[in-house]
Structure 1
């Protein structure tokens, strides 16, 4: 096994850990994937490596922006005020540190349910908003996962072209 194949395989494994980090938010998935592509680009020192890095960084930026804009717009369209989304986002950040792995989505959704219930002064009326928050979290995860998968595919194509 050549050094290029071993390095490429190890970096691909790091990227797969990054994909797992997107699905189970323990690790910064897209960050880990892009770090692996950066390492490969630095080792490769070819147009393939730098192009792959540029594409992956652009995908990272697009996924980062879309994973907040698309679900946020969906929540606003569902009647959840922007300030409630901000409060829920802050609760999600706190939840990330309080309950590792699942705290961010749980606290985000829970905060929307609680704040919307307090606004409506009725616990049952906030179920629709809460369901929209669950869908928004899922959409956000899918956007990030799509960005991560596209980065991995970009790497595999560039690596294949560079080593043919």
Structure 2
């Protein structure tokens, strides 16, 4: 792969890592696709091993974050309906208030849904905090998968 192409892959990886944190676009998917493209074009044992490591790490992280969030929220007593309301208001907030509307809408949606369900402000806020903790931890899990893929790519660069 040419040096310019490798720089473009690096830019895509950086964009993907930012996306894994801000959650506005599918960052880990971008990292996986960029690293897999590099691995396929580079070819050979190193290229294919890097591709497999990138794909497996991102897919395992994707599955783990959903399993973890579900168990964490179930243990906290937060129903799926609450998350759906939070997600819908998050999407609405994204379009109403640029940049910060998504998290604000999500928090507001979860809080209002739990307040309607529980009728107690403190309990609704505790459920909202649990949902935020689960969201933060899933972001870290996704970032870890993207970082493993990035690390595999860096090792592949050093070996080729």
**TM-score between both structures, scaled by the size of structure 1:** 0.83
Aligned-residue offset at 1:89: 3.6
Residue number in structure 2 paired with 1:134: 132
Aligned-residue offset at 1:23: 1.9
2:15 equivalent to 1:17: yes
Aligned-residue offset at 1:58: 1.1
Residue number in structure 1 paired with 2:52: 54
Match of 1:39 among 30, 37, 40: 37
Match of 1:118 among 116, 119, 141: 116
Aligned-residue offset at 1:43: 1.8
Distance 1:59 1:97 in 2: 32
Distance 2:53 2:45 in 1: 12
Residue ranges of structure 2 left out of the alignment (5+ in a row)? none
List per-residue Cα deviations over 1:38-58 (Å, max 9, x = no partner). 221232121211221111111
SS of aligned partner of 1:10: helix
Q: More deviation in 93-102 or 111-120?
A: 93-102
Residue number in structure 2 paired with 1:148: 146
Aligned-residue offset at 1:79: 1.3
Distance 1:26 1:86 in 2: 17
Kept in 2, the 8 Å contact 1:92–1:105? The answer is yes
Distance 1:58 1:98 in 2: 37
Residue number in structure 1 paired with 2:62: 64
Aligned length: 160
Distance 2:94 2:64 in 1: 21
Q: CA 1:101 to 1:56, structure 2 compared with 1: closer, same or farther past 3 Å? A: farther
Superposition CA RMSD, Å? 2.2
